[in-house]
Each structure stands twice: as structure tokens, then as C-alpha cells.
């Protein structure tokens, strides 16, 4: 925006101010087809050839200035376009990075869910094994007590021990069953 304001001011100043032309060591000012020397109008005094040469040189200077302005505008437009392209490229890169982060996050989430599912499966298998083991131990202890009871080798003290042992095994079996 600053460049446009400067260019507008420059264009206005070029139109309002005169062109300075140096001819034979004298500095002439040309304003709208009138030639001034030291702020005095000398258009009528000059010869036609001198007048034409001064006006021609003033137009050449004016054309060169306009060409310079056009080149400057073209350069500014080019720089602006390059900046726009750079911004677009940066925005695309950001979008790509953002998308990549989303994918990584989703992959991590899937991996985490997979691990938790594996852990849950392991826990379930472990609980099942504990349940089977507790059931087996209870069955063995009960059979052993019954076998000893039939054989008559079970004293009242041993019977109390077995009752306590069987009670503990039943509690373990119930815990394993509840976890299962």
C-alpha cells in the first residue's frame, strides 16, 4: 500500500512540476509545452529548432520516468505475487503437517486401544486360569477330606483344618468367579 501511495504522489508531482532540461549549459524548465529559463517564459524567444529539441528532450525524460515507474510497478507486482505464492506454499505445508499430526494421533489411538484390548484379553485368560485352578484345588481338597473320612484317618483336629482350608478355597473360587 505504501508503494502505491508513493507512486501516486510521484505521478502527481511529475505532472505538476516541470521537466528540467539542460541545453548549452542552461537549465530550462518545461511545463505544458512552455519553456522557462530562470522562471521567465522564453517559449516565444527561442528558435523553432531549439524549442523542438528542448521539448523533445523533455518528452524523452518524461517517457524514461514513466518507463521507470512501469518497471517499478512490475517489480512490485512480481514481489507481491512471489509473496503470495510463498504464503500459499507455507499454508499448504501447514495443512500437510496438521493432517500428518492427525494421522499420527489416530494411529497412536488405535495402537493404544489395541494394547488395552490385548491387556484385557490377558487379564480375562488369567482370571479364567485362576478360576479353573481354584475349582481344581477345592475339588482336590474336598475329595481328599472325604477319602480320609471314609478311611477313618481324619481326626477332629484335622477335620477342622480341612473345613477351614475348604472354606478359604471356596472364598478364592468366589473371587475368581466374580473377576471372571
**pLDDT band at residue 90 under the 50/70/90 scheme:** very high
Q: Which residues make beta-bridge pairs with 57?
A: none
Residues 179, 134 contacting (CB under 8 angstroms): no
- Residues 180 and 176: their CA atoms lie apart, in Å, by 6
| Class of residue 69 by CB neighbours under 10 A (exposed 0-12, middle 13-18, buried 19+) | middle
- The verdict on 88 and 163 lying in the same domain is no
Residues 61, 18 contacting (CB under 8 angstroms): no
Residue 112 inside a domain? The answer is no
Indicate if the pLDDT at residue 148 is higher than 80: yes
Residues of the domain holding 161: 119-179
Residue 54 inside a domain? The answer is yes
pLDDT of residue 89: 95
Q: How many CA atoms lie within 13 A of 114 on its CB side?
A: 6
pLDDT of residue 4: 58
Residue pointed to by grid coordinates 472325604: 146
Tally of domains in the chain: 2
Residue 114 inside a domain? The answer is no
114-124: average pLDDT:
94
Most confident range, picked from 7-21, 49-63, 148-162 = 148-162
pLDDT of residue 23: 65
- Residues 63 and 178: their CA atoms lie apart, in Å, by 98
pLDDT of residue 7: 53
Residue 101 inside a domain? The answer is yes
Point out the domain boundary residue: 107, 136, 157. 107
- Residues 42 and 34: their CA atoms lie apart, in Å, by 8
Amino acid at each position: 500500500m505504501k508503494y502505491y501511495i508513493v507512486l501516486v504522489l510521484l505521478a502527481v508531482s511529475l505532472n505538476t512540476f516541470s521537466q528540467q532540461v539542460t541545453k548549452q549549459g542552461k537549465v530550462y524548465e518545461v511545463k505544458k509545452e512552455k519553456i522557462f529559463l530562470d522562471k521567465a517564459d522564453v517559449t516565444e524567444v527561442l528558435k523553432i529548432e531549439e524549442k523542438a529539441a528542448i521539448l523533445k528532450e523533455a518528452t524523452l525524460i518524461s517517457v524514461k520516468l514513466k518507463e521507470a515507474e512501469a518497471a517499478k510497478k512490475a517489480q512490485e507486482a512480481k514481489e507481491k505475487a512471489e509473496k503470495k505464492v510463498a504464503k500459499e506454499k507455507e499454508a499448504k505445508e501447514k495443512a500437510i503437517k496438521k493432517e500428518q499430526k492427525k494421522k499420527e494421533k489416530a494411529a497412536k489411538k488405535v495402537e493404544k486401544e489395541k494394547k488395552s484390548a490385548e491387556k484385557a484379553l490377558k487379564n480375562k485368560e488369567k482370571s479364567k486360569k485362576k478360576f479353573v485352578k481354584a475349582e481344581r484345588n477345592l475339588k482336590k481338597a474336598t475329595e481328599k477330606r472325604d477319602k480320609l473320612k471314609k478311611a477313618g484317618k481324619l481326626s477332629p483336629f484335622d477335620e477342622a483344618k480341612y473345613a477351614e482350608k475348604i472354606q478359604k478355597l471356596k472364598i478364592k473360587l468366589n473371587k475368581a468367579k466374580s473377576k471372571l
